Amino acid sequence: MAPKVLVSDKLSPTAVQIFRDRGIEVDFEPDLGKDKERLLAVIDQYDGLAIRSATKVTEKILNAATNLKVVGRAGIGVDNVDRNAASKNGVIVMNTPFGNMITTAEHAIAMMFAVSRQIPEASVSTHAGKWEKSRFMGVELTGKTLGVIGAGNIGGIVCERARALKMKVLAYDPYLGEEKAKHMGIKKTTVDTLLERSDFITLHVPLTDQTRNILSRENLLKTKKGVRIINCARGGLVDEKALAELLTSGHVAGAAFDVFAEEPATTNPLFNLPNVVCTPHLGAATTEAQENVALQVAEQMSDYLLTGAVSNALNMPAVTAEEAKVMGPWLKLSAHLGGFIGQMTDEPIKAINILYDGSVSDMNLEALNCAVVAGIMKRSNPDVNLVSAPFIAKERGIQISTTNQDKSGAFEGYIKVTVVTDIRERSVAGTVFSDGKPRFIQIKGINIDAEIGAHMLYTTNKDVPGVIGTLGQIMGKNDVNIANFTLGRAEERGEAIALLYADHPVPASVLKELDDTGVFRQIKPLEFDVN
Nearby residues of 473 by Cβ (< 8 Å), 6 or more positions away: none
Identify whether the C-beta of residue 439 lies closer than 8 Å to the C-beta of residue 484. Answer: no
Annotated catalytic residue within 234, 336, 439, 455: 234
- Reply yes or no on whether 107 is catalytic: no
For residues 316 and 387, give the distance between their C-alpha atoms in angstroms, rounded to a whole number: 10
DSSP conformation letters of 5-25: EEE-S---HHHHHHHHHTT-E
Annotated catalytic residue within 22, 117, 161, 281: 281
- Reply yes or no on whether 263 is catalytic: yes
In this structure, the number of other CB atoms found within 10 A of the CB of residue 468 comes to: 14
By CB neighbour count within 10 A (0-12 exposed, 13-18 middle, 19+ buried), where does 33 fall?
buried
Task: Classify strands 413-421 and 349-358 as parallel, antiparallel or unpaired.
Answer: antiparallel
The sign of the CA dihedral 95, 97, 98, 101 is positive
Identify whether the C-beta of residue 93 lies closer than 8 Å to the C-beta of residue 313. Answer: yes
Annotated catalytic residue within 218, 262, 263, 288: 263
- Reply yes or no on whether 234 is catalytic: yes
For residues 240 and 261, give the distance between their C-alpha atoms in angstroms, rounded to a whole number: 8
Identify whether the C-beta of residue 231 lies closer than 8 Å to the C-beta of residue 238. Answer: yes
C-beta pairs of 526-529 under 8 Å, 24+ apart in sequence: 526/339, 526/340, 526/343, 526/344, 526/455, 526/456, 526/457, 526/458, 527/339, 527/343, 527/454, 527/455, 527/456, 528/336, 528/339, 528/340, 528/452, 528/453, 528/454, 528/456, 529/84, 529/335, 529/339, 529/454
Active-site positions read: 234, 263, 281
